[in-house]
Amino acid sequence: MRKKRSMAVGLRGRRRIAAHYPAGPAFGESRTTPRTCSDALLFYDPATPATSFGQPPRYKTFLLIHRNSTIRHQSSASLVLQSLPSEKSARPGGSTPMITHTKATKNMLDIDSQGMVTSPRVQPRRFNVIERSAMTSVTGIIIHQTGSSDEQGVFSSYRRGGNGAHFLIAKNGTIYQTASLNLRTNHVGPLKARCLAEHRCTAAEFKKSVRFSQASSVERMNRIEMTKTVPARYPSNADSIGIEIVGLASLPPGITMPTGLSKAQQDAFLGEKAVYESVTRFQNISLRWLVDELIDTLHVSSSEVHRHPDVSRKNKTEASTAVWR
């Protein structure tokens, strides 16, 4: 009888589980069916390059399945283990002992110690000048549009410092990472009251008080909201990832900019009257992939992905054609 050896087999989701497998040749040849052992099945995705079993590649997925379980494809992004009856463990009436099910989700993003994504789908273009303090937790993702016609205009703006987001998606779908995921950036602005949008409070709760004496109602609301945590409030600069989508905002036909306005007044007029162009098909494909990967990797709730104007006072057409679900 061949001697059994034990090793740790990596699961998606950065979990590890001990497995026993029989000694023998490298388990790297292309297989489409699980390899059977006396007490387990070892299944792996043959789509990745084959290597020796003792040294799996970074993204290779191994699943340990108890003998009396089978694997079924729920979708292209996930695999779910489903228990099967065992002749030895079958009980009267057809019931069987429960076997703990394990769900293995798709590969997560590889993020290095500097907070930069390592992926052929993400191009590093980091601008330190838009980065701020450390971001200790991520509770949400905010989707923006740039207001510019191409990514070069955004890069020029970022070089000067100021506001910016963590990712930028060009019109051809190219994804750039422009800031570290370890650090916050200013991309949200003053928060709206989530409880008002969800009909859980009244405007009276945001009146001027001894504790919140700000003259500006916008700033006062933001201060009150920031005393709460997600999901009682929207994700903010302090705890959200920003994704910018390249897209121009322009005045629709028949509307012109009044003369004699200051820069701030011009920005306010455009913010109210301009219309953002539609997100391209390539941008939406990249957006769906990026949001999905960030949700899985950073454990963000899918309900905490928001368009910019939903969480702050921005042009209502910004990112209105972005699709990530």
Report which of 215, 320, 216, 313 is spatially closest to residue 267, judged by C-alpha positions. Answer: 313
Whose tokens are 């989508």? That residue is 245
- Position 4 scores a pLDDT of 43
CB 242 within 8 A of CB 185: yes
Q: Which residue intervals of the chain are DSSP H helices?
A: 151-159, 194-197, 217-225, 263-273, 281-298, 308-311
pLDDT of residue 277: 97
Q: What is the pLDDT of residue 263?
A: 87
Stretch(es) of the chain classified as CATH 3.40.80.10: 122-191+234-311
Q: What is the pLDDT of residue 67?
A: 37
Q: What is the pLDDT of residue 264?
A: 87
Tokens standing for 237? 């600069």
| CB half-sphere exposure, 169, CA atoms < 13 A | 26
Question: Per-residue pLDDT tens for 56-111?
Answer: 333 333 334 333 333 333 333 333 333 334 444 444 444 433 333 334 445 689 99
pLDDT at 98: 39
Q: How far is CA 293 from CA 111, 122, 191, 283, in A?
A: 11, 12, 26, 15
What DSSP letter does each residue of 152-207 carry, written as one string? HHHHHHHHT-S---SEEE-TT--EEE-S-TTEEES-S-SBP-HHHHTTSS-GGGGS
Q: Contact at 8 Å (CB) between 140 and 304? A: yes
pLDDT under 50: residue ranges of the chain: 2-105
pLDDT score for 190? 97
pLDDT, residue 106, reads 58
Domain 122-191+234-311, CATH class in plain words: alpha beta
Q: What is the dihedral of CA 219, 225, 231, 234, to 10 degrees?
A: 0
Is residue 91 classed exposed, middle or buried when 0-12, 13-18 and 19+ CB atoms within 10 A define those classes?
A: exposed
Element spanning 307, H or E: strand 305-307
Omega into 231 within 30° of 0, i.e. cis?
A: yes
- Distance (Å, whole) CA 209 – CA 133: 30
Alpha-carbon span 36 to 151, nearest angstrom: 52
Contact between 185 and 163 under an 8 Å Cβ cutoff? The reply is yes
